[in-house]
Amino acid sequence: MSDALATPTGLESHYAAQLAADLERNATEQERIGTEVQSLQEQLRALQRDRELLLKMQQLLDDGAAASVRQATARKARVPAPRETAPRTKRTAPKKAAAAKAKPQPKPKSKPAEGPTLIELVRTHLGQQSEPRSAAEVTTALTQGHPDRTIKTTVVRTTLEKLVAKGQAQRTRQKNSVFYSTPDAPEQPKGADDGAATAAEKPDSKD
């Protein structure tokens, strides 16, 4: 009976062969999977390296973009914005209006006071006199009667000559003096008041 146990049967041989095949298949599968694991680990390490590289590139790009933004902001801060033409016209219009208001308006020329003309004054004065008068005497009398008016002897003498030319006055010469009177006024006798007439005309001779 011991011989029978020591000699393998066909069933045992079958199991033994199957176990050997399973062990070989297991070893082969382990080798295959180990190879795949090693390959996957290498792929994983490559992916990790690529990720690190990509992260570094992304950081560099972000830093460059931030620097560009800062530079652009600095340039905008340094360069003044272009001035618009339309608002400028709106601003200058009030300035022109203010300048026009500030500019003093020319004062209207004062109209001469209404009253008789110089020729009327001279003619009236001669008509009121009983004796001939020199141009200086007429000027003195008109200046006293009309202090608001500027009357010059030369102008009075020219006015008297105009009246003489129109026949509204007459001229009388006594020595070096000239006297004027209305056409109907009596002439001053010659020689009677030569001294007074000469004294009255002397101030006129300086004109």
Q: What is the pLDDT of residues 12-51, one digit of tens each?
A: 898 888 898 899 999 999 989 999 998 999 999 999 999 9
* Token couple for 145: 């009667």
- Are 132 and 58 part of one and the same domain? no
143 falls within a domain: yes
pLDDT at 68 over 80: yes
Contacts of residue 149, defined as CB under 8 A and 6 or more positions apart, other chains included, come to 115, 142, 143
Q: Tell me how many domains the chain contains.
A: 2
Judged against a pLDDT cut of 70, whether residue 138 lies above it is answered with: yes
- Asked, for residue 171, whether it belongs to a domain, the answer is yes
CATH of the domain at 199: 1.10.10.10
Q: Is residue 152 part of a domain?
A: yes
Question: Is the four-CA dihedral 201, 203, 205, 207 of positive or negative sign?
Answer: negative
Same domain, yes or no, for 125 and 58? Answer: no
- Are residues 122 and 201 located together in one domain of the fold? yes
Q: Which value, in Å, is the radius of gyration of the alpha carbons in the chain?
A: 69
The single-letter DSSP state of residue 147 is T
Which residue range is the domain that position 32 belongs to? 9-78
Q: Report yes or no on 199 lying in a domain.
A: yes
Structural domain contains residue 92: no
Chosen domain end from 78, 97, 131: 78
pTM of this prediction?
0.36
How many Cα atoms occupy the beta-carbon half-sphere of 41 within 13 Å? Answer: 6
Are residues 201 and 124 part of one domain?
yes
